[in-house]
C-alpha cells in the first residue's frame, strides 16, 4: 500500500504537468488519491464498461468530456453516509450542523443566501468540516446508530473496516495488457471488499433490478479480478468476498447486505471479457464507432411476449 507523497496538495496534483497526472500511475494499492484525481487517471473501469455497452463513441465522449460534478446536497449526503458507516469515529470531526441564524435559530427563508451564512460555512470548511442540513445530519446519525445497534453482517462490515476509498491499479495481461482501476468503498478484515449503496428500497427485488441496470454484478467481478491481480503481482491482502451494503435513504433507514450469486458473476465475466476487449481495441486504433449506419430491424422487449402469453392464458 503506497501513499500520495505528502506536501502535494490535490489541486496542485490536478494541475501538474498541464493535466499530465499519469506520473501517478503505478500498479498496486494506493492511499490518498483524491476522488477527483482518481477519475483523471487512465484505465478501464466499470463506468467505462457501462459506457461501452451503449457505444464506443459514447464512451470516448465521456472520457474526453468528463462531467465536472458541482457540490450538491445529494452528493454531500452520500459522502457523509459513507463516513458515518465506514469511518464513524471520524464523522463528527468531518461534518457538523448547518449554521443557524444567530439570535433567531433555525434556517429562515433567505438566511442561506446571506454573507453571514456563507462566511460561517467557509469557516467550517476551512476547519475541515462540511455542514449538513438538519434532516441530513439526522439521517447520518440514525444510520450510524442503526447499523451498530442492530447487529448482523452490516455491523460486522462497519466494525471491520481497515481502509476506505483506496485506489487499485493494475495491468491486466489476459485483456491485452490493459490498464484497469478500481476504488472500493471499504477494505475489511477477513478478506472482504464492501461497497455502500443508498437506495429508495433495499428489498431483494429492487436490488436485483438495480444490479442489472447499473452493472453492479460487473463491478463486483472487476473489483475481485483487480484485487486478485494486485495480490498476485504486488502483494497485500487477498480478497475473497465482495459485499454490497444497501441502505435506504428514507426513515427508518433499513439496511440489507447482498453478495452477487454465481450465475450473475458468470454473466459479468462474459460481459467484461467482451467490453474490455472492445475497449482495448478502440484505444489501440483510436477508432470509436457509434451505432450501425444501416437500417436495423427492431421489435419489442422480450418480456412483452411473456406478458402477452400470460394475458392470453388469463383469458
Q: Which pLDDT tens digit goes with each residue over 260-286?
A: 999 999 999 999 999 999 999 999 999
The confidence score (pLDDT) of residue 36 equals: 83
Separation between Cα atoms, residue 190 and residue 160, nearest integer Å: 8
> What is the rounded (10 degree) CA torsion for 68, 213, 203, 240?
-80
DSSP character for 260? -
CATH number of 44-71+163-285: 3.90.320.10
> Which H or E run includes 171?
strand 167-172
Q: How would residue 9 be classed by pLDDT, with cut points 50, 70 and 90? A: very low
The confidence score (pLDDT) of residue 298 equals: 95
Which segment of 14-18, 77-81, 195-199 scores lowest on mean pLDDT?
14-18
Separation between Cα atoms, residue 180 and residue 172, nearest integer Å: 7
Q: Which pLDDT tens digit goes with each residue over 93-110?
A: 999 999 999 988 899 999
Cell triple for residue 117? Answer: 451564512
The backbone torsions φ and ψ at residue 195, rounded to the nearest 5 degrees and listed phi first, read: -125, 135
The confidence score (pLDDT) of residue 309 equals: 87
pLDDT at position 14 over 60 = no
Ordered alpha helix ranges (H), the chain? 10-15, 35-40, 46-54, 56-64, 73-86, 91-94, 115-126, 134-150, 152-158, 204-214, 216-234, 262-285, 302-314
Q: Which pLDDT tens digit goes with each residue over 195-228?
A: 999 999 999 999 999 999 999 999 999 999 999 9
The confidence score (pLDDT) of residue 67 equals: 66
pLDDT at position 3 over 70 = no
Q: Which pLDDT tens digit goes with each residue over 111-132?
A: 999 999 999 999 999 999 999 9
Asked whether 81 and 198 are in contact (CB, 8 A), the reply is yes
User: Counting Cβ atoms within 10 Å, is residue 86 exposed (0-12), middle (13-18) or buried (19+)?
Assistant: buried
> How many whole angstroms from its chain centre is CA 223?
11
The confidence score (pLDDT) of residue 74 equals: 77
The confidence score (pLDDT) of residue 91 equals: 94
Domain boundaries, the chain: 44-71+163-285, 72-104+112-150
What's the whole-number mean pLDDT along residues 5-25? 50
Separation between Cα atoms, residue 236 and residue 39, nearest integer Å: 23
Asked whether 188 and 161 are in contact (CB, 8 A), the reply is yes
**Could you tell me how many residues make up the chain?**
315
Residues facing residue 248 across a β-bridge: 199
Q: Which pLDDT tens digit goes with each residue over 19-43?
A: 455 656 889 999 988 888 898 889 9
The confidence score (pLDDT) of residue 50 equals: 96
What's the whole-number mean pLDDT along residues 227-251? 94
pLDDT at position 181 over 90 = yes
Q: Which of 174, 178, 170 is nearest to 229 (CA)?
A: 170
Amino acid at each position: 500500500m503506497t501513499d500520495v507523497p505528502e506536501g502535494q496538495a490535490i489541486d496542485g496534483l490536478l494541475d501538474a504537468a498541464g493535466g499530465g497526472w499519469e506520473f501517478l500511475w503505478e500498479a498496486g494499492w494506493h492511499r490518498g488519491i483524491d476522488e477527483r484525481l482518481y477519475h483523471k487517471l487512465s484505465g478501464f473501469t466499470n463506468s467505462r464498461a457501462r459506457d461501452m455497452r451503449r457505444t464506443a463513441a459514447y464512451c470516448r465522449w465521456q472520457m474526453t468530456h468528463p462531467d465536472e460534478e458541482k457540490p450538491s446536497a445529494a452528493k454531500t449526503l452520500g459522502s457523509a453516509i459513507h463516513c458515518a458507516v465506514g469511518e464513524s469515529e471520524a464523522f463528527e470531526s468531518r461534518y457538523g450542523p448547518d449554521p443557524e441564524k444567530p439570535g433567531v435559530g433555525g434556517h429562515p427563508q433567505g438566511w442561506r443566501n446571506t454573507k453571514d451564512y456563507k462566511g460561517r460555512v467557509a469557516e467550517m470548511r476551512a476547519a475541515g468540516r462540511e455542514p449538513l442540513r438538519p434532516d441530513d445530519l439526522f439521517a447520518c446519525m440514525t444510520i450510524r446508530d442503526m447499523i451498530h445497534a442492530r447487529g448482523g453482517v452490516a455491523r460486522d462490515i462497519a466494525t471491520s473496516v481497515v481502509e476506505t476509498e483506496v485506489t487499485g491499479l493494475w495491468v491486466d495481461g489476459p485483456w491485452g495488457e490493459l490498464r484497469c482501476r478500481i476504488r472500493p468503498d471499504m477494505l475489511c478484515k477477513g478478506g472482504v471488499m464492501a461497497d455502500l449503496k443508498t437506495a429508495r428500497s433495499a428489498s431483494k427485488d429492487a436490488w436485483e433490478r438495480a444490479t442489472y441496470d447499473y452493472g453492479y454484478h460487473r463491478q463486483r467481478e472487476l473489483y475481485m479480478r483487480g484485487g486478485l491481480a494486485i495480490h498476485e503481482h504486488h502483494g497485500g491482502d487477498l480478497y475473497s468476498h465482495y459485499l454490497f451494503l444497501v441502505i435506504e435513504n428514507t426513515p427508518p433507514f433499513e439496511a440489507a447486505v447482498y453478495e452477487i450469486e454465481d450465475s450473475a458473476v458468470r454473466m459479468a465475466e462474459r460481459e467484461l471479457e467482451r467490453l474490455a476487449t472492445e475497449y482495448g481495441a478502440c484505444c489501440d486504433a483510436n477508432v470509436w464507432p457509434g451505432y450501425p449506419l444501416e437500417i436495423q430491424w427492431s421489435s419489442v422487449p422480450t418480456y412483452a411476449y411473456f406478458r402477452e402469453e400470460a394475458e392470453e392464458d388469463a383469458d
